[in-house]
Structure 1
């Protein structure tokens, strides 16, 4: 079987030029900057020190600026948290199987982590079970993780249920992790949102969503390849329920579906914003690199804003 990691690396160089890859590499490195170190001691501020390292409370007590000194941690643990339930066997917006996009995204993120000397682990599963592969290093290990994702998401698998994987992390995994979730497009329920909030309090969390396919093709679309016809149903692989083609091309049905999709998306974005979790979406393998870069940049900016907003100012009651 051809190497999945080699395929990921090939796509990276096809869809990006050297400058883009350099920026992506640098953006990954910046995610841990200032948060990957263990506190050592306080010392007097000297010109050239990062403003973000000033301890404002200690400065106020001491009367002159003090900065925190840190001891670098040599290696970090990155956890790829991947939905491999039945939902990920469905088509994405690009028409590709969602699991193929998940493998590509996990490969890109794992490859970046490995280049920076970080260990990479995998937690994947569905609504009934989770499987954990501890962090390790090396391309052979990363290949094993990608094959695990590729082999696990199928139409015969139980339905997706990312809450089970979130609960697994909170129950069994110790130590601070950089967690990158790759999951189906879903709206978190109350339990899932609570788990996400707890996870965000303990770890660095980034979230990449694989976009759903559209409703069945409209009346002006090209015939489905190999069928010579447009007569196809949209089927929810999670529930097995389908929408007859005659309804899917009805203008009122399509308008109502579009409105419901927009409202659902608004609610999803509101949840991630409220939880302080950077989330980005990908439609297919061609925009995975762009989405990963945007996700890393969004996480870094949000984390820095959260840190600086809590310093030196007054808090509303």
Structure 2
């Protein structure tokens, strides 16, 4: 069985020679620095308090602004949320299997967490089932999480649908977490938006989308491809009908705009990723977005 975490470390080592890995470490650390995560009680607002800490409902009842006070804790918990439906068995925009990119992204975030003394848990699944693994702070545990994700994805899996995984977190995860979601390029449903509204009130949420391959490109049209969502051949139709190919491209643009806008409405930092070679730079950008969102 290949050691997936070792592949992650090797990728990070190569990245260190090009981009200075310390910058990525710094962005991760900045998300939690000076920010306690366990709610304690309420106190009166004083100038200089963060506006986002105001409890608006309690303030309305009290008649003056109240802010949430948190208990400082030494270690944080990162909750990896992985789409392991059969959509992740497809090829990504950069030409490699989506699940390879998924494992690499989860591995990098998980390894950063371990380096900072934090623990890592996992919630993953598809439209039919959700599995949760409690958080621990060891490399052996992270390796087992990556192996679990890698082995869960295949064409025999159910379709991707993060609704069940988000619902599980909303119902069962009470303590504040850094929730790192890696999803397929799939529209955000109204129910998912509702769940994200709840999650964002309690957790720090980051979202990474692994992009679909461009089925209307010249290279894609030269071969038969399978739509893993519907398990049907689709490319031949695009090759034979230029108008249909144009409509396909328009639908892709609309879908990506819908995803971007839905997450923006919840102020969730997000990035698109199409190849494992871009994981480091993309995660740096994502963590940077989260740091600025906290200001």
Same fold, judged at TM 0.5 (above) = yes
SS at match of 1:212: coil
Query: Unaligned 5+ residue runs, structure 2?
Result: 56-66
1:165 & 1:70 partners in 2: Cα distance? 27
After TM superposition, the score normalised by the length of structure 1 is 0.81
After TM superposition, the score normalised by the length of structure 2 is 0.87
The residue number in structure 2 matching 1:26 is: 26
User: Residue deviations 1:174-202, cap 9 Å, x none?
Assistant: 21111000110111111111111111112
The residue number in structure 1 matching 2:188 is: 188
The alpha-carbon deviation at position 249 of structure 1 amounts to: 5.5
The alpha-carbon deviation at position 51 of structure 1 amounts to: 5.2
Contact map agreement 1:104 1:285 (CA 8 A) in 2: yes
The residue number in structure 1 matching 2:274 is: 283
Contact map agreement 2:31 2:291 (CA 8 A) in 1: yes
Q: How does 1:1-317 map to 2 (within 5 A)?
A: 1-17=1-17, 19-36=19-36, 72-218=72-218, 221=219, 231-248=222-239, 250-304=241-295
Q: 1:41/1:214 Cα in 2 relative to 1: closer, same or farther (>3 Å)?
A: closer
Q: 1:254/1:121 Cα in 2 relative to 1: closer, same or farther (>3 Å)?
A: same
SS at match of 1:233: coil
Query: Unaligned 5+ residue runs, structure 1?
Result: 58-66, 225-229, 305-317
SS at match of 1:96: coil
Q: 1:53/1:243 Cα in 2 relative to 1: closer, same or farther (>3 Å)?
A: closer
Bigger-Rg structure (1/2): 1
- Paired residues, number: 281
Contact map agreement 2:86 2:158 (CA 8 A) in 1: yes
2:173 & 2:237 partners in 1: Cα distance? 49
2:191 & 2:91 partners in 1: Cα distance? 27
SS at match of 1:161: coil
The alpha-carbon deviation at position 93 of structure 1 amounts to: 0.6
The alpha-carbon deviation at position 286 of structure 1 amounts to: 0.5
2:188 & 2:182 partners in 1: Cα distance? 14
Contact map agreement 1:215 1:248 (CA 8 A) in 2: no
1:31 & 1:10 partners in 2: Cα distance? 25
The alpha-carbon deviation at position 72 of structure 1 amounts to: 3.2
